Structure 1
Amino acid sequence: MSVERELEYNELKQKLIEIASKSDEQRLPLRAYNILRIAIKNLVLAPGQTILEREIAEALEMSRTPVREALVRLQTEGILTLIPRKGFNINPIKKNDLKEIYEITESLDGLAVELATTKVTKEDIKYLKKLIILQQEQLEKNDLYEWSILDDQFHAELINFASNSRLNSVINIHADQLYRARLYTINNRPIPYQSIIEHNAIIACIEAKDKNAARLAMQSHRKRAWSEIVNILDD
């Protein structure tokens, strides 16, 4: 292993160890899967990067069998691809794939907010408003990474408040891909003050118990976000 490659490996190992320290999953294949999924979602493993089964197993201090199971599962989910004799390649972020995902998400998130409007409590709304305040604070600090985490949390909480496990499961299939795309393009997009405005508008509709307006506000929010991302991917 070259000196440069060894430095890259040691850096990756440290980041994977940090992710692993936050996981309480004990079953090795699922533990490996969760660690790798989070690493890909957060661009620790970047689009187009090639990883070796052996190196991942060594970094996670596991045998290669659970790591292989995790990699194969991620491949079936379309997140990475096996390149014979070279390892696994993290799939790039493709515009057409994202377009389809955003079309689905726009409709499903709209439905989730519509359902949540009739179910949220005052405490739920208070919590959502707190997340928006925290987002604003991160923008003032110019910390777009922390803003992205809070943005993802805001949308996840709205979906949870819909109290529909099947809807939640369908949306979660694509959630990581959306987050990865937002994180990948965030530094080249306008600073997301508009997102704060739109989040507040969604909450206002929910407080007014206007589920149709809440749904339209969420769909408009998703559509605007997609228009920004597609411009970056075109460039």
Structure 2
Amino acid sequence: MKEKNRSSNDNTALKKTLLLYKEEANEDRLPQQAYIIIQKAILNLQLQPNEAFLEREIIEMLEMSRTPVREALIRLEMDRWIRLIPRKGFSVEPIIKENIEQICQIAEALDGVAAELATFNINEEHLEILDSLITNQEKYLNENNLKAYLDADNQFHNLIIEYSHNERLIDIMDSHSDQLYRARLFTINERKLPIRSIKEHRAIVAAMRAQDSKAAQLLMHSHRHRGGQEILGIIERNPANKTKK
């Protein structure tokens, strides 16, 4: 599969997006700022899986000098967001079934543990926040705003992980959650409308409110497993995302 190249119009649109991310970035260190901006573009699919780009293009778009951009690109390659193509530039890593399958397995197990632990720590204020996120998900779904739905869904899961108060679990999930988010965004238009997910979220919160930690764990594990299987099936069927042999 050849890497996908951008047109001049695409580059103009991408530059506007990157500069917007630059304005939003709360980071003074230029290498870290460049890393955050480029990663966000990959995460939100403004830079698509398998898409090729040149270092000089990113330097021009970000209106930065070469050194911080080069440092950011090296880190992004180490973190498996991009890969270096000798004498050609860089390419965004594809969303590979085997990688996402492993991340889904981690999410199933650790999100379940997080729900169990959060049940012991959660208070009514936390539960109301989770309830409000579910309400927002229903609203976005009714508006057919799937990106906003996914962002609220992501926040729901991240808060439960935060409420676990387990720093090691939080660190592990932080290192994988962005890759899972990208895969979910990549497949969301091909999935069934996530009405069932909203029902499952309500059941998880109900178990936590009832202080039934084991039920919360099992419900979360089942929820993540079902969603993961849907994502993996779509990725496997998508020929445009397959990496070169």
How high is the TM-score relative to the length of structure 2?
Answer: 0.92
Q: Distance in 2 between matches of 1:86 and 1:123?
A: 52
Offset of 1:163 from its aligned partner?
1.5
Q: Distance in 2 between matches of 1:51 and 1:112?
A: 38
Offset of 1:166 from its aligned partner?
1.8
Match of 1:153 among 155, 158, 183: 155
Q: Distance in 1 between matches of 2:185 and 2:193?
A: 13
Deviations 1:80-101 (CA, angstroms, capped at 9, x unpaired): 1000111111010000111111
Match of 1:139 among 134, 138, 141: 141
Tell me which residue corresponds to 2:118.
116
2:24 is the alignment partner of 1:17 = no
Q: Distance in 1 between matches of 2:144 and 2:26?
A: 32
Offset of 1:5 from its aligned partner?
3.0
**Structure 2 gap segments, 5+ residues each:** 1-5, 238-245
2:98 is the alignment partner of 1:90 = no
Deviations 1:7-61 (CA, angstroms, capped at 9, x unpaired): 2211110011121221110100100111111111111111011121111111111
One-letter amino acid of the counterpart of residue 121, structure 1: N
One-letter amino acid of the counterpart of residue 53, structure 1: E
Match of 1:72 among 68, 71, 74: 74
Match of 1:223 among 225, 232, 242: 225
Match of 2:10 among 8, 11, 18: 8
Q: 4+ residue stretches of structure 1 with deviation over 2 A? A: none
One-letter amino acid of the counterpart of residue 142, structure 2: E
Q: Distance in 1 between matches of 2:18 and 2:163?
A: 31
Offset of 1:234 from its aligned partner?
2.4
Q: Distance in 1 between matches of 2:11 and 2:136?
A: 34
2:29 is the alignment partner of 1:59 = no
2:38 is the alignment partner of 1:36 = yes
Tell me: higher relative CO, structure 1 or 2? Use CA pairs within 8 A at least 6 residues apart. Answer: 2
Deviations 1:143-182 (CA, angstroms, capped at 9, x unpaired): 1011011111111111111112221111011111100010
One-letter amino acid of the counterpart of residue 216, structure 1: L
Offset of 1:103 from its aligned partner?
0.6
* Count of matched residue pairs: 232
Offset of 1:6 from its aligned partner?
2.3
Q: For residue 117 of structure 1, give the secondary structure of its aligned residue in structure 2.
A: helix
* Percent identical residues: 46
Match of 2:190 among 181, 188, 191: 188
Offset of 1:122 from its aligned partner?
0.4
Offset of 1:77 from its aligned partner?
1.1
Tell me which residue corresponds to 1:234.
236
Q: Distance in 2 between matches of 1:114 and 1:36?
A: 35
Offset of 1:121 from its aligned partner?
1.1
Q: Distance in 1 between matches of 2:54 and 2:152?
A: 32
Deviations 1:111-167 (CA, angstroms, capped at 9, x unpaired): 111111100110000000000000000000011011011111111111111112221
Q: Distance in 2 between matches of 1:6 and 1:225?
A: 37
How high is the TM-score relative to the length of structure 1?
Answer: 0.96
Q: For residue 110 of structure 1, give the secondary structure of its aligned residue in structure 2.
A: helix
**Structure 1 gap segments, 5+ residues each:** none
Computed over aligned residues only, the root mean square deviation of the Cα atoms, in angstroms, reads 1.0
Tell me which residue corresponds to 2:170.
168
Deviations 1:65-87 (CA, angstroms, capped at 9, x unpaired): 11111111111111110001111
